[in-house]
């Protein structure tokens, strides 16, 4: 039964990523966010710059995020860093309050997460202008111009994310 429900979850994610979510195309605001060391960063330090970006909203105590983070890290490891990158936006789970830096740092260190992560809360996520945060993990695909092209809550198989990226790259190259 678990295999069947995983199949339907993957199918739903695929349908959403390849269909209706392209309507999300909007540019994110340039928010100032802190990393786990307390250093402030501009969101625009990470978005745009002629790179495709996978943004994952996650929490270190979220069971689905704990399962998903090694997959996201492997995808990051395999990416051509000149063309693609990953950014984590981390919040507290299950409160969706502001992330606890020490807890996030411990998770990152213990799980060898190498991509950048910035601390947020659901209130900060609201300021991104993408609607209500439906859950964690939430995966977004951002174009090299900084526009969010897709947003989906829940675990999404790596292949679906990569296929969506390739489809968007082809679409951009054909334009």
- What's 63's domain CATH number? 3.40.30.10
Range of the domain at 155: 2-174
- The alpha carbons of the chain give a radius of gyration, in whole angstroms, of 15
Phi, psi (degrees; rounded to nearest 5) at 135: 165, 180
* Per-residue pLDDT reduced to its tens digit, 126-159: 999 988 999 999 999 999 999 999 999 999 999 9
Q: What percent of the chain is modeled with pLDDT above 70? A: 86
CA separation (Å) from 1 to 4, 7, 54, 72, 166? 5, 10, 30, 25, 31
Of 129 and 23, the one with more pLDDT: 129
* Per-residue pLDDT reduced to its tens digit, 52-62: 999 999 999 99
The count of domains in the chain is 1
Q: Is the pLDDT of residue 12 over 90?
A: no
Q: Is the pLDDT of residue 7 over 90?
A: no
Looking at residue 1, its pLDDT comes to: 44
Looking at residue 27, its pLDDT comes to: 87
Q: Is the pLDDT of residue 21 over 50?
A: no
What is the rounded average pLDDT for all residues in the chain? 89
Q: What's the mean pLDDT in 104-111? A: 98
Phi, psi (degrees; rounded to nearest 5) at 95: -75, -20
Looking at residue 24, its pLDDT comes to: 54
**β 84-90/52-58 pair status:** parallel
Looking at residue 26, its pLDDT comes to: 80
Q: What percent of the chain is modeled with pLDDT above 90? A: 78
Residue for token pair 């990523």: 17
């Amino acid at each position: 039964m678990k295999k069947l429900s995983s199949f339907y979850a993957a199918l739903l994610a695929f349908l959403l990523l390849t269909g209706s979510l392209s309507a999300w195309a909007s540019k994110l605001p340039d928010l100032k966010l802190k990393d786990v060391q307390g250093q402030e960063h501009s969101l625009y330090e990470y978005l745009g710059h002629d790179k495709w970006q996978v943004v994952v909203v996650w929490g270190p105590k979220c069971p689905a995020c704990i399962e998903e983070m090694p997959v996201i890290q492997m995808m990051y490891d395999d990416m051509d860093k000149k063309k693609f990158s990953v950014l984590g936006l981390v919040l507290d789970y299950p409160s969706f309050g502001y992330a606890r830096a020490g807890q996030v740092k411990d998770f990152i260190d213990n799980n060898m997460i190498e991509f950048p992560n910035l601390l947020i809360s659901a209130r900060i996520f609201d300021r991104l202008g993408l609607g209500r945060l439906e859950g964690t993990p939430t995966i977004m695909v951002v174009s090299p111009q900084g526009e969010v092209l897709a947003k989906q809550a829940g675990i999404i198989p790596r292949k679906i994310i990569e296929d969506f990226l390739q489809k968007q790259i082809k679409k951009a190259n054909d334009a």
